[in-house]
């Protein structure tokens, strides 16, 4: 399996893992996958309301101690800049944590803080995004930290 297909499969596994964990955590009635689209992976039905989520899985965080939050790819807005989701969930597999936050508030914070830096990365370094140490996100207001008991492997 090529690197892209392996990464895609790992990302899909992360989405399923996060959806199940968040459904349980929030006591959601169901997960709606068919409602997914650009910038949206699934919706949770919580108390009759549909909450759209986008999920990112950061396997490299184990090595770097950071999370990467994309804002553009190939000179087009993407990630935090393009999402239609109300909530983002970043799975940090080696720590067995899910970080849940509002993407617009996070994008604003990343632009203002000196703790994050803008970098290029990904395949052919075509993606731009913010790198921020996980330790700064763990104490940040507006970020919900959810423990998960499953270590997801790439």
What torsion do the CA atoms of 149, 151, 45, 145 make, to the nearest 10 degrees?
70
In the beta sheet, which residues pair with residue 132? 67
Domains in the chain: ranges and CATH: 3-147 (3.40.1350)
Report how far apart, in Å, the C-alpha atoms of 5 and of each of 38, 45, 56, 122 are. Answer: 19, 30, 16, 14
Q: Tens digits of per-residue pLDDT, 50-90?
A: 999 999 999 999 999 999 999 999 989 999 999 999 999 99
- Which residues partner with 32 through β-bridges? 43
For residues 136 and 151, give the distance between their C-alpha atoms in angstroms, rounded to a whole number: 22
| Global model pTM greater than 0.95 | no
pLDDT band per the 50, 70, 90 thresholds, residue 40? confident
Contact 52, 83 (CB under 8 A): no
Strands (E), 42-135: 42-46, 49-57, 66-73, 76-77, 87-92, 97-101, 117-121, 127-133
The 10s digit of each residue's pLDDT in 140-151 is 999 999 998 876
What's the pLDDT band for 4 if we cut at 50, 70, 90?
very low
Tokens of 86: 């109300």
Distance in angstroms (rounded) separating the CA atoms of residues 78 and 144: 23
pLDDT tens-digit series, residues 109-138: 999 999 999 999 777 788 899 999 999 999
């Amino acid at each position: 399996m090529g690197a892209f297909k392996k990464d895609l499969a790992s990302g899909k596994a992360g989405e399923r893992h996060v959806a199940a964990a968040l459904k349980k955590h929030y006591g959601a009635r169901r997960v709606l996958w068919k409602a997914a689209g650009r910038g949206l992976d699934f919706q949770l039905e919580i108390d009759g309301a549909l909450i759209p989520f986008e999920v990112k899985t950061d396997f490299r965080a184990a090595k770097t101690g950071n999370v990467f939050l994309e804002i553009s790819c190939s000179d087009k807005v993407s990630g935090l800049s393009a999402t239609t989701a109300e909530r983002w969930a970043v799975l940090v597999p080696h720590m067995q944590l899910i970080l849940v936050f509002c993407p617009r508030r996070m994008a604003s914070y990343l632009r203002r803080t000196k703790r994050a830096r803008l970098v290029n990365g990904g395949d052919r370094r075509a993606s731009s995004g913010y790198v921020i140490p996980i330790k700064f996100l763990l104490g940040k207001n507006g970020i919900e930290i959810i423990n998960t008991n499953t270590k997801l492997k790439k």
